[in-house]
Amino acid sequence: MTLYQPFLDYAIALLNERLELEPYPIPIGFESKECTTGKGKREQLVVTTSHAFKSPKLRQIRAAHVEGGDSLQVLNFVIFPQLTYDLPFFGADLVTLPGGHLIALDMQPLFHNEAYQKQYSEPILPIWQRYQEDLPWGGDFPEEAKAFFSPAFLWTRPQETKMVETRVFEAFKDYLQAYLDFVQQAQPITDSQRLGEILEAQQRYLNYRAAKDPARGMFTRLYGEEWTEEYIHGFLFDLERSLAVDDVN
């Protein structure tokens, strides 16, 4: 079963249609990784593939796709804007484990002031509301994480796989289309103070996500600690590394 492959296929096709896409470098050893878990009848091949692109307004568009049979399917799809735009991040965490499905979709804000919410959160609230009946609130999540989500954060735990294949997929499409509308309209920021605030906000988000990445335990069990930490810091959340390279150059 490859539950989230249609999501990834849709996203890449849409991005190619709407953006001037270029490849984003994936460090050697991270394009694809596999291992076997379990024994006997429970033996299962787990394959993790990485995909990455960039565009003039988007620094990194990247996906980590884990396929491990019925009990392990994950797609982590995140878009990081260029540091000269005040765009939010696009984030989709789509997770299927033996205990069920965990779905998180959002345009994660750089700032929480009224003007920013009016520009980027309020326009997508109708999309969020459209799915509340079928995809209700998924319950508690860490208090410290709340600062990184918007009022249109879609967080749900659907019971049925069919709901993931239909309503979650539709929500994913709607959020991504709306995000690309924002990208299309975005104008570069030239004010130096604002640019500093954008850099600080992006660093704050990436440092939090790298430190608290919920996939860390899973990847460590599958591929070991060394590979996992390098994958997190060298690919999934690589802003600090890329800034360091820019400073050297």
Domain ranges of the chain: 5-190
E-strand spans in the chain? 22-23, 32-37, 44-55, 58-67, 73-81, 89-97, 100-108, 154-156
Q: How confident is the model at residue 245 (pLDDT cuts 50, 70, 90)?
A: low
% the chain with pLDDT above 70: 98
Specify whether the CB–CB gap between 171 and 204 falls below 8 A.
no
Tell me: the pLDDT tens digits for 210-231? 999 989 999 999 999 999 999 9
pLDDT surpassing 80 at residue 90:
yes
- pTM score > 0.85 for this model? yes
Q: How far is CA 195 from CA 85, 111, 115, 121, 200, in A?
A: 8, 13, 17, 21, 9
SS3 225: helix
pLDDT surpassing 60 at residue 101:
yes
pLDDT surpassing 60 at residue 248:
no
- What is the mean predicted confidence (pLDDT) over 7-27? 97
Per-residue pLDDT, 143: 81
User: 5-190: which CATH architecture?
Assistant: 3-Layer(aba) Sandwich (3.40)
